[in-house]
Structure 1
């Protein structure tokens, strides 16, 4: 078959001043933003080479999310928006999901694509992008282009929404969150999205007797959207998670729920930290502890915001500020444990979570023994209801023990991780911990150390079941 040279793409590459190799490098950097630096195919692993770019210019159409990634890379280079259609690949696939001003439009589009039978192709065009993040300052909310829409402007049905409807959404959010904590983001997320896209969307379009009920429903919907994003993040679907977090932030802004907005920004900072985008993570974490996002939160909420802020400060090399933030988070959690009432939230933050994040912060500060101590405290104090996070913590603890030369201890810890995974946890983050086990033990396999061999073989067997 004769292919027609893609003159549109050739022209754009010429405008960018890129050789084929430079274009491939820019593509790989843009694509790396959506991948974990610890996982296979991380930022250190190039996706394409100059031959791919040459084939595209020669008339071959790239598959999957490649057109969207290339459009993103060219947009940054040319400092203007370059659409997939401009790349000259013929009839474009579904357009990347953008963030329109109205949160309900975003919810409809995102839910429709997430639940579609051809979900894989519909979502292939979205990528995780730090450039797409608009970090709000102060209490200004990102969806507030003007006053929040009044109820009459949103009416699309005759459903009368009551306080009982709000309570129902919150109860179901807690139920989904409990499953996520026990079993991982791979369990129940489709049902959650279905509920958000249908029942909750209908409620958001309903009639409200009071403005207070409307705002509480938007807040409840925001928390459910946040949970969908967190479960997508846990499953390794980072671009999709980013879209749900952004949607949740929009809904929290419409509801004027400032502490919830801070909680969502904290989750976005956590994601950026795990993906290695430290400057973006710090900006998001700084925003999460500003103004009413922090002052309006309960002590337990403030402890969660503060400990992720500390980790972001440590990643940015701001040691003294990170230590100060850790101490403040410990004090906030102590105040929560003293009996301060908490809102009906899905935060589940306690001593084990504080110890886990403290350990990750200490690791970034170079205090390996302190990190091992705090990871150990997290393992000892975490309850059975949080099996997914327990598995993730065991992965980090084993890695820290391994780095400290405590190989036998690391293998014992990782044996516990594999025990947890065999209980049916479906979590991309926990799976990455198993990938790390295999990678860290690989150099020792030739020594035929019994406990190393046993754990390495278990990790291999587990990962082989996934493919």
Structure 2
């Protein structure tokens, strides 16, 4: 049976103004960068390969990933395998390609300016272990080098522009802490797509300003990723974190790179990727990412590392990491200038993460005490995290047989959620609440019946 012509790929090649031979040359260039000389299926192709793919043959091995990366670079936007008329690539090379891809291309594809069909493709991405593989140290070194060519852009970018991005980043981060990741995500992505992309393509007053702007834009991309994570858009969040890490690496800001990797580890752990989470957390506390960080940030990196150690059954190492995180936070004081991104991390946050660590180690009683300390010490500016903490505490209480205590705690969760918190993580806590209450529904416990009905009503309104 004759193959059906791949019109999608043919149209992309026309848009790129590439002949079959030019396409093969571009493909082979990307393959050399990606595979570092390793010979694999379709590690090198000729014009006949491209002709067959346009004719309808499905490329195998690493070919879909390599060809899409070559087209992405040419067209200055991300080209997915689906857009090129291919089945989704499952090649391990895709993870490597994600780190080689230009972060400015990823910024270009953010926001509502992308057409609706493309948004559906991006939203349908998969969160997988393959996407959590980090680049090696040579990548970090290469990314941090100053560019050899000067920008020819007309737009001049100075320190005031850097401060503007930082101010906006902090404002959205505070909003996320109060109301959840469901508030303001579109606005963040629109700013990333238009304003920050123009800044990064601009002409910098000096190399220090260039690095500062890359760092500022990395933080904003990280906040976008964190909001997506909190809103349970996990594949989108991972893409944002990936972009943020690349921007941070280009700025040479090691502590910021560690901060973003910590968020990636947190997400991976929440989604059950325990081994991958540990590897990422270990990378977040490696070398200058930890040693050059401020005390508060070191405590944040360390306590998430402790959580990943606990989840992987490394009890003694987890306990030691917790103690180190406590020591680091105790060294944070007014005389130490901390980055704005650590504003949320204090005693309440440390107690929350410590409780999660103890819970994963099976010490439920101590975990409940730490959850209670977190609830008691957290201020009103952190209502979303407060709701998440209460959800975890209720689940831990009912695991210990404290049904009445759990119902009282979960009632506070619903109070917070119904007052305007838009958080996928907090909403998942309500779903988990109903699941954990199900064995008690037929026991005639009034508090269970009232809470379950209220939770069902809430979910019906938000779903």
What is the CA-CA distance between 1:448 and the residue it aligns to? 2.0
Q: 1:149 aligns with which of 143, 147, 150?
A: 147
- Cα 1:356–1:161, aligned 2, differ >3 Å: closer, same or farther? same
2:34 is matched with which residue? none
Compared with structure 1, are the counterparts of its residues 240 and 191 closer, same or farther at alpha carbon in structure 2 (3 Å cutoff)? same
Alignment of 1:135-214 (within 5 A): 135-136=134-135, 140-142=138-140, 144=142, 147-150=145-148, 152-153=150-151, 155=152, 157-214=153-210
CA deviations on 1:350-400 (whole Å, 9 max, x unpaired) are: 011100000000011110001100011011111111111100000000000
Q: Which residue of 2 aligns with 1:234?
A: 230
Q: Which residue of 2 aligns with 1:92?
A: 85
**Paired position in structure 2 for 1:266:** 262
The correspondence of residues 419-458 of structure 1 with structure 2, limited to 5 A, is 419-458=415-454
What are the Cα deviations for residues 175-228 of structure 1, in whole angstroms up to 9, with x where unaligned? Answer: 111110000000001001001111111111111111000000000000000010
Question: Retained in 1: the 8 A contact 2:219–2:244?
Answer: yes
**Counterparts of 2:82 and 2:360, CA distance in 1:** 44
Contact 1:166 1:217 in 2 (8 A): yes
Q: Say whether the 8 Å CA contact 2:146–2:207 is kept in structure 1.
A: no
The aligned runs of 1:323-362 (5 Å cut-off) are 323-337=319-333, 339-362=335-358
Aligned mates of 2:281, 2:216 — CA distance in 1: 22
SS at match of 1:194: helix
Is the alpha carbon distance of 1:416 and 1:289 closer, same or farther for their aligned partners in structure 2, counting shifts above 3 Å? same
Cα separation, 2, equivalents of 1:246 and 1:90: 21
Question: Which gives a bigger RCO, structure 1 or 2 (Cα 8 Å, sep 6+)?
Answer: 1
Change (3 A) 1:114 1:337: farther
- Describe the superposition over 1:47-80 as per-residue Cα deviations: whole angstroms up to 9, x where unpaired: xxxxxxxxxxxxxxxxxxxxxxxxxxx99xx975
Q: Point out where structure 1 has 5 or more consecutive residues left out of the alignment.
A: 8-73
The aligned counterpart of 1:102 is: 102
Q: How much is the aligned-residue C-alpha RMSD, in angstroms?
A: 3.0
Q: TM-score, normalised by structure 2?
A: 0.78
Whole-Å Cα distance in 2 between the matches of residues 305 and 89 of structure 1? Answer: 37
SS of the residue corresponding to residue 405 of structure 1 reads: coil
Which of 268, 275, 278 in structure 2 is aligned with 1:279?
275
Secondary structure in structure 2 of the residue aligned to 1:123:
helix
Which residue number corresponds to residue 48 of structure 1? Answer: none
Range with bigger deviation, 252-261 or 201-210? 201-210
2:287 to 291, 305, 308: 291
Is contact 1:115-1:190 (8 Å) kept? no
TM-score by length of 1: 0.78
8 Å CA contact 1:388–1:430 kept in 2: the answer is yes
